[in-house]
Amino acid sequence: MTIKTDAVIVGAGPCGLFQVFELGLHGLSAHVVDSIGAPGGQCTELYPDKPIYDIPAIPVCTAEELVERLLKQIEPFSPGMHLGEEVVEVSGDGSGPFRVVTNAGTEFECKTVIIAGGVGSFQPRKLRASGADELEDKAVFYRVRDAAQFAGRDVLIAGGGDSALDWAVALAGSARSVTLVHRRDEYRGADATVAQAKALQAAGKITMIERAVIKNIDHEGGRITGVDVRVGDNTDYTMQRLTPTDVLVFFGLAPKLGPIANWGLSITRKTIDVDTEKFQTSVPGIFAVGDINNYPGKKKLILSGFHEAALAAVAAKAHIEPGKKVHLQYTTTSPIVQKRLGVSTES
Ligand code: FAD
């Protein structure tokens, strides 16, 4: 089924979220797609607990709080949210609707596309061990879509952050065995989860192997036959042979420009060229806001992205309704905008 909407926003970082608001003020509907499973882009992925001091009129808030506030602010416009899906295709030349497709097969027909892709799509960091690539999505996994898949299995989890620890704890009750392999002897996860994992280890429910790195995965017919783990440092180590059925890897996420490079847009050093009047790309009707765009004097700041979103919304409206003047409306005084915001006092 194709979803029809005024705008598809690629990226749910702070600028993509604020773009929903600006389009909403103009009466335009939006669907937002992000490859990671939570909204907030870099704010959520890289520094949720850090304080931000340069958001206008908010002297200080954490990155997580900023995202929460943005989500609250766009509530009146009820955008479609498609998290955990990467936009892989954008086609159209601006003379008609655009077609946007995600890697989950979701398809949109929209009048305008706004790319708020930041520094790119966040992708799981891959396990560099021989055999890992061939087994991806067969016996080596970078995300858990259905925990039931691992019930009764021998699961080897690699990583020392929240995701690795959370899944080690979560699967301890249902998997036949859970082994956590971490290259350090300190964990980056929340203290409470580390304590929980250690308690499960003491109770013999999980095995934790520290200062350990997966070096090789032997396999046959898409199944793991053995995993070689180096325990120790580069010069002083022993090798252990493990026999899990599945390997789950949680090494964090890294940004990659990814499919955006293939949409026929003018790109300079992994950023999209835009003008500064409309923030339009080289394709009419496709706009770019936030860290992803490139223009003389561009600064990768959230407030710059917010300004870009306001102007891109005006231009998107003009693109959708050619020949009609787009009037500037104050939220303070415009009854039509207040109605869209759901704060209208008029009956
Ligand atoms: P992002 O936040 O990068 O979000 C882009 C989103 O697009 C990502 O979630 C990505 O997964 C998604 N995406 C990309 N391609 C696709 C695709 N094909 N399909 C689906 N999804 C896709 N700025 C400030 O103004 N003040 C600060 O104090 C500040 N502190 C910072 C501290 C740190 C440690 C860092 C790393 C950055 C800081 N920044 C700060 C910069 C700020 O975070 C960025 O300017 C801001 O996040 C840019 O927002 P964005 O929405 O453009 O992109």
Q: What is the pLDDT of residue 347?
A: 57
Q: Write the DSSP symbol of residue 167.
A: H
What CATH topology corresponds to 3-122+253-341? FAD/NAD(P)-binding domain (3.50.50)
CA of 14 to the centre of ligand 1 (A): 7
CA of 13 to the centre of ligand 1 (A): 5
Of 333, 339, 340, 332, nearest to 313 by C-alpha is 340
Q: What is the pLDDT of residue 49?
A: 86
Query: Which of 55, 101, 302, 307 maximizes ligand 1 atoms within 8 Å of its Cβ, making it the mutation to test the pocket?
Result: 302
- Name the residue ranges covered by the structural domains of the chain: 3-122+253-341, 126-249
Q: What is the pLDDT of residue 78?
A: 97
Alpha-carbon separation of residue 169 from 37, 84, 143, 276 (angstroms): 20, 23, 15, 50
Q: What is the pLDDT of residue 238?
A: 97
CA of 25 to the centre of ligand 1 (A): 23
Q: Do domains 3-122+253-341 and 126-249 have the same CATH topology?
A: yes
Residue 232, helix vs strand vs coil = strand
Q: What is the pTM of this model?
A: 0.79
Ligand 1 atom closest to the Cα of residue 259 is 18
CA of 67 to the centre of ligand 1 (A): 11
Q: How far apart are the first and last CA of the chain?
A: 37
What are the pLDDT tens digits along the chain (347 aa)?
A: 899 999 999 999 999 999 999 999 999 999 999 998 899 999 998 888 899 999 999 999 999 999 999 999 999 999 999 999 999 999 999 999 999 999 999 999 999 999 999 988 778 899 999 999 999 999 999 988 789 999 999 999 999 998 999 999 999 999 999 999 999 999 988 899 999 999 999 999 999 999 999 999 999 999 999 999 999 988 899 999 999 999 999 998 887 888 999 999 999 988 999 999 999 999 999 999 999 999 999 999 999 999 999 999 999 999 999 999 999 999 999 999 999 999 987 65
Ligand 1 atom closest to the Cα of residue 54 is 26
- Is 54 touching ligand 1 by the criterion CB < 6 Å? yes
CA of 330 to the centre of ligand 1 (A): 28
CA of 301 to the centre of ligand 1 (A): 9
Q: What is the pLDDT of residue 344?
A: 81
- Is 11 touching ligand 1 by the criterion CB < 6 Å? yes
- Is 259 touching ligand 1 by the criterion CB < 6 Å? yes
User: Which residues 6+ apart lie within 8 Å of 326 measured at CB?
Assistant: 26, 314, 317, 318
Residue 45, helix vs strand vs coil = helix
Out of 3.40.30.10, 3.90.470.10, 3.40.630.30, 3.50.50.60, the CATH code matching 126-249 is 3.50.50.60
